[in-house]
A and B are shown apart, each in its own frame.
Chain A
């Protein structure tokens, strides 16, 4: 492999990274080749000593994706980072992937549950309020409409359910953020282990 092949393979494998980052990375290898050639080595010799350009590029990608997920928090970025690390062929992350997906599912379930509770509370609230107007379409258990006190209690109950749902929602949100940050930490740990593995 000569210099140009080596560099274009790195460039290709870096793929969707920002072009200024790509150019910055390429600069190092251009320089490495140039100096090596001034010292009398052939392009092929230098390329062999540098190692496999595709696996070098994978290290940059994994670093980059984790950094992105850290700076711009989103599920998509997190997923890309996880995939990039898996691309490094690191065994541990695959073992961890199962529990990771399970935790993600739990968080989603919690979100769904809290939203449902909010909606249910709203249903009760609206039902009680609209019952005098739409008594034929809305069915409310009789005891709730027995007296003004019961109606008031029903309304308060509905507000309580809504508040409970909202609190659960907020709690889940913070839990998700915590989970996100812990995952980033874990990924970073993997990147530093994996990159030195290629030695």
Chain B
């Protein structure tokens, strides 16, 4: 996928995954990198910024293997941001598709 497209979309991806389930970092990174090639380390600064903006919150949960894992969960404010990004993204894709599929060309 083109780098330009990944920019803003990453935030939407993270918020969308967290809407479905609470994740620890590795899980989240894995879910994303299975679909999109990214430098996995960039997800964590993004998560931290989202936390300080109040979009996500964290809690520790014991795991069978090793130390407790840090889980990320979507907040109400994060859900609002996700919904807004979703609308923006969908309308963008629709417009681009219009052009790509030729529907927008006036003969």
| Chain A residues in the interface with B (C-beta under 8 A) | 25, 27-29, 31-32, 34-36, 38, 49-53, 56, 59-60, 63, 67, 191-193, 195-199
Contact = CB atoms under 8 A, between A and B. Distances in A.
What DSSP secondary structure best describes chain B's contact surface?
helix
Given A35-B26, A199-B6, A192 B41 contact: no
B49 A191 contact: yes
22 contacts: A25-B44, A27-B70, A31-B26, A32-B25, A32-B40, A34-B67, A35-B66, A35-B69, A49-B39, A50-B39, A56-B39, A56-B44, A63-B45, A63-B48, A63-B49, A63-B52, A195-B45, A196-B6, A196-B10, A197-B3, A198-B39, A199-B6
Contacts of A29: 41, 44
A191 B53 CA distance: 13
B46 interface: yes
Contact of A195 (B25, B49, B52, B69): B49
A66 B41 CA distance: 21
A28 B70 contact: yes
B24 A31 contact: yes
A51 B37 CA distance: 12
Given A196-B10, A196-B46, A50 B25 contact: no
A196 B45 CA distance: 10
What DSSP secondary structure best describes chain A's contact surface?
helix
B40 A197 contact: no
B44 A52 contact: no
Contacts of B67: 31, 34
B49 A192 contact: yes
A38 B66 contact: yes
Nearest to A34: B66
Given A52-B39, A56-B44, A38 B65 contact: yes
Given A49-B39, A52-B39, A191-B49, 20 more contacts: A28-B44, A29-B44, A31-B26, A32-B26, A32-B40, A34-B66, A38-B65, A38-B66, A51-B39, A51-B42, A53-B41, A56-B42, A59-B45, A63-B52, A67-B52, A196-B10, A197-B7, A198-B39, A199-B6, A199-B39
Contacts of A36: 26
A38 B48 CA distance: 24
A53 B44 CA distance: 12
Contact of B42 (A31, A193, A199): A199
A32 B25 CA distance: 7
Contacts of A59: 42, 45
Contacts of A34: 66-67
B7 A199 contact: yes
Contacts of B69: 31, 35
Contact of B45 (A52, A56, A193): A56
B44 A199 contact: no
